[in-house]
Structure 1
């Protein structure tokens, strides 16, 4: 690896557009050069949220779907970091909203995990698969339910995601919401058709996923209503 190719990653991460331009003008191949983790300048610019550099790199041939050694794309990084403007630009450039990395996580998984409702909406409107599964067969709704991210859960359900889908352990999003003691979200999931009688592989009902009596009572009362 040349000094120039090392430097352009640092320049992209720090937001030094002039430095990036100088290195690209010196050698056009620097646009797509990879560091020791196989990340390109576009990965690092996305991480830092540096839209002017992203525009410059894309205009000069940077691949929007480049992957690093864990199959992370620049769009995954932007979504995980909450960089809405960067995510929009990458999608316009042809970034794959349904790409998955080595753990089968997608952009939508990361946006849900990091509680980024605006990015979730952007991804859905851009054609993201709301039922895409990670290596544990969990969809983005599992992430939102585990963390109690009600706005994201609502966006996913409104986009017709499967509400009673099961992961490798047989858990449903309702199991995860109750395990996380997110009573209000659990009640909302029930109102949308979540099955309270769906047992996981250990024969555990959603309501038994927590020992929090207040949550159990709150959800149980909603089930009786």
Structure 2
């Protein structure tokens, strides 16, 4: 029992992915002041300060289609201009959910795959902020689906951490790599397991995700499930060709993970 107790502490280390949730739930103060911040309180995405933006970025960030059109009429070269965080007007329109502005910028042939200071493309920002309509426009115009941010997360990683199955399906239909690994070695399936999201796990498995994929500690989806909150997800995983002999870097199998967590894993 002492052995399992010490191992349990080890396997719980580094269990959370390299995944920045702060941008999706940041509390933004000072909204409503023209000299302060353009985004409303608790808005997902970027913290946008008016003083940091040029006219086109400012208009795109608030969805002012008329001003975007007016500005581009006289300064076409600003289409892909970056602010000090390397964000283009397209980044800001996608993050804040303005599909009409996104459509206009795309129609004017803006670059779709420019990455910001955290290596996030407009598609990654649209998915991170759950702006499906904006993401769909980008996908239909052949935006790259497999670009990685600074933590090696792709758009599909962010989608797998959400609840929007439709968005996941669209990304996979547009050739998103279902086995992409972030810097912790987590695939979208492994992230969905850590988020305790049975619907997303079922969707990814149906789309062909490898049930035996493992992270940098060699933990499989089943190990992560029984080591956390296994309700519903374990039975889903066991319906697929799970390799129960797999071991993590400590030599533990999924059954030993279950024992460490106080669960009994029944395998038919």
TM-score (norm 1): 0.89
> Helix, strand or coil for the counterpart of 2:117?
coil
2:196 matches 1:132? no
How far apart are 1:10 and its partner, in Å? Answer: 2.0
Q: Distance in 2 between matches of 1:110 and 1:195?
A: 27
- Contact 1:5/1:33 (8 A) holds in 2: no
Is the helix fraction higher in 1 or 2? Answer: 1
- Contact 1:33/1:41 (8 A) holds in 2: yes
- Contact 1:4/1:23 (8 A) holds in 2: no
How far apart are 1:56 and its partner, in Å? Answer: 0.7
Q: Distance in 2 between matches of 1:112 and 1:10?
A: 30
> Helix, strand or coil for the counterpart of 2:202?
helix
1:13-40 Cα offsets, whole Å, 9 max, x none, are: 1111112112212211121110111010
Number of the residue aligned with 2:110:
62
Write out aligned runs for 1:33-44 (5 A).
33-44=81-92
Show structure 1 runs of 4+ deviating over 6 A: none
Write out aligned runs for 1:99-178 (5 A).
99-178=147-226
What is the root-mean-square deviation in Å for CA atoms of aligned residues? 1.8
How far apart are 1:196 and its partner, in Å? Answer: 3.1
Q: Distance in 1 between matches of 2:115 and 2:202?
A: 31
Mean Cα displacement is larger for which, 201-210 or 37-46? 201-210
Mark the CA change 1:124 to 1:117 in structure 2 (over 3 Å): closer, same or farther: same
> Helix, strand or coil for the counterpart of 1:155?
helix
Q: Distance in 1 between matches of 2:127 and 2:53?
A: 25
- Contact 1:190/1:196 (8 A) holds in 2: no
Number of the residue aligned with 2:96:
48
2:57 matches 1:15? no
Number of the residue aligned with 2:21:
none
Mark the CA change 1:82 to 1:170 in structure 2 (over 3 Å): closer, same or farther: same
How far apart are 1:205 and its partner, in Å? Answer: 2.5
Number of the residue aligned with 1:84:
132
- Contact 1:147/1:177 (8 A) holds in 2: no
Number of the residue aligned with 1:71:
119
Mark the CA change 1:29 to 1:189 in structure 2 (over 3 Å): closer, same or farther: same
Count of residues in Structure 1 that have an aligned counterpart in Structure 2:
217
Q: Which runs of 5+ in 1 are unaligned?
A: none
TM-score (norm 2): 0.76
Q: Distance in 2 between matches of 1:150 and 1:51?
A: 30
Number of the residue aligned with 2:234:
186
